[in-house]
Structure 1
Amino acid sequence: MNLYDIPPRQTQSYLTELLKSRNIWPKNKMGQNFLIDLNLMDLVVNSASLQPSDAVLEVGSGTGSLSNRLIENAGFVLSVELDPAFQKLTEETVIERDRFFLHRGDILKGKNQIQPQVTEKLAEITSMPGISGYKLVANLPYAVATPVMSNLLISRNPPTKIVAMVQLEIAEKIISKPKSKDFGALPILFQSLAKVEIVRRISPAAFWPRPKVDSAIIKIDPSPLLRSKLVFEGVKPEDGPLCFRNFLRGLYVHRRKNLRGALLSMPNNKLSKAEIDAKLVILDIKGEVRAETLSPLDHFRLCSQFGGGVFVSGETDETAD
């Protein structure tokens, strides 16, 4: 039976009393920092432009406060919670259970894959009558924010929108431009697949317990048109984003090298320096430049020349920045 007939508003006093009554203490290592600024919670929900035809993927249900707000506006909510204590709490505090499903476990299977059970459940939910797609709307734990968003973005079933609270450093990196210190594999991947923007910078005071760094609400609008352009010889169209992601990872393993050196040092490279230079001449790109000075379009052109099917399965030890 649910504890409340009306979803409570998540204030600091409400949270402290609720968790104290259950002998639950937030775990810093799991990124358990709960949003207590109610205006910002409204901003997150409003920025997602939710409709009854939308399903929502939430990562980190916590106390169920945002979950309830999402259920009010969307057609269905799939929430993922790793912590058993908060799994139980979510089950008790979520009101409309007929349009809510809680996945008990991790959102990720390793750093490069969304948990298959979550992927399967998303496919099941988005095939329901009246549901046309899903959006990721979440206060993402800092440790998983980048792999969750990037793995969803390149998946064969990407979200139609992402609105997430993330570490400010991550948000600023995603929107960074060529020749800046933050520009690299991560922003190139995101900007090649979506329109990205920071909605609002958030101070630590908006959360309880307070994190040590600033956060931001980031909005990402995946573009089917941009995605359709990531087509490479020898690669299935649906695997184009994966190929591009892995190419970028390999290219930025040796970030301090010039472009020629970075290409020579890429995993699985079998080309000589002369062969690389010949391909760069075709692209009209100088081998002496650094990769981070080039545009996302130039990186696509590089992948077309140097990528190929090997980068669909090829992995590196580095995450996407």
Structure 2
Amino acid sequence: MNKRISSPKTMQDVIRQHQFTLKKSLGQNFLIDENILNNIASAADIDEESYVLEIGPGAGALTQVLASRGKKVIAVEIDQRLEPVLKDTLQDFDNVSVHFGDVLKLNLHQIIDQECPPGVPVKVVANLPYYVTTPILMKLLTDGLPIKTIVVMIQKEVAGRLQAEPGEKSYGSLSIAVQYLAEPKIVMTVPKTVFVPQPNVDSAVIRLDIRPEKKVKVDDETFFYKLVRASFAQRRKTLMNNLINNLYDKTQKEQLLEVLEQTGIDPGRRGETLTIEEFARLSDVLSHK
């Protein structure tokens, strides 16, 4: 059986053997804790029927665990320099295919169609680089891919934002965008000490279950997102001030006040106090004005 690389020594041996240098610009922090790797696979309910899309396999530590449990792993890696490393670490697994490229630019529909039987839901598992967490999550959530669950390791602070409720300090436009499409739940926190090299902050594993139907119904989804972003543009400002400064202008103040009164929302409230249902109600009225 191929050597597992989920320990500091084996990981460092592999990196040294292939003379691989980690790039800070790509957020390369490789996980080296067997228990946490297994817990991630368990959190995603990976079993012998699972088709898994892994983003950022790195040197393959998590890939090994996913491949040993699942039916097939489709890994997407941006760093072509990792090709010989992954060939080495995954040599004993015939159920892994690696696609090199930027996940934000690749046609994931095409890759999934090529690798998976039609109609089979895919589970996403990833240790995401901090600097592209949000765009990758939004692509996965909004591209209409056949995804059932997403289990990702991300910065602890960002995980808190995804799960935040109205009135909490970390509640914002990202909380609403994610909760509109999925149900988030933090599975565990992960100390920075279990990575090579160590990042500056702790991480968390969060599971997103894709909603069969969106949390609220809105007439104009594009406008709904614009309204939410504008409402959080300056957190200390009231909802009214944010909307005047970022979506409308001062000549529309009276019209805005009327709409807020009509929807039962106090213009003096801040965006972070509004529920997703209130944003939907406000969006539907404003989008028809």
Q: Same fold (TM over 0.5)?
A: yes
Separation in 1, partners of 2:200, 2:94? 38
Q: CA deviation at 1:27?
A: 1.8
- Please name the residue that 2:230 is paired with: 250
Paired residue secondary structure (2:14): helix
Letter in 2 for 1:167: Q
Q: CA deviation at 1:139?
A: 0.9
Q: CA deviation at 1:56?
A: 1.6
Q: Give a deviation string over 1:43-62, Cα, whole Å, max 9, x none.
A: 00001002444322211111
How many residues get paired? 289
The answer as to 2:242 corresponding to 1:262 is yes
2:217 to 230, 235, 241: 230
- Please name the residue that 1:94 is paired with: 90
Separation in 2, partners of 1:283, 1:268? 18
> TM (normalized to structure 2)?
0.90
Separation in 1, partners of 2:53, 2:249? 38
Separation in 2, partners of 1:270, 1:96? 65
Separation in 2, partners of 1:123, 1:273? 50
Q: CA deviation at 1:193?
A: 2.1
- Please name the residue that 1:23 is paired with: 19
Q: Give a deviation string over 1:94-150, Cα, whole Å, max 9, x none.
A: 246653322211112xxxxxx242332124434x15x61112101111111121112
Letter in 1 for 2:28: Q
Q: Give a deviation string over 1:205-262, Cα, whole Å, max 9, x none.
A: 11111111111111111111335x4331xx5xxxx4x554343223322333211122
Paired residue secondary structure (1:192): helix
1:82 to 78, 82, 96: 78
Contact 1:254 1:265 in 2 (8 A): no
Separation in 2, partners of 1:211, 1:83? 19
- Please name the residue that 1:281 is paired with: 261
Structure 2: give runs of 5+ residues left out of the alignment.
none
State the 4+ residue runs in structure 1 displaced beyond 4 angstroms. 267-271
- Please name the residue that 2:123 is paired with: 135
Separation in 2, partners of 1:230, 1:270? 29
The answer as to 2:174 corresponding to 1:194 is no
Separation in 2, partners of 1:223, 1:7? 38
1:105 to 93, 101, 105: 101
Separation in 2, partners of 1:298, 1:205? 41
> TM (normalized to structure 1)?
0.82
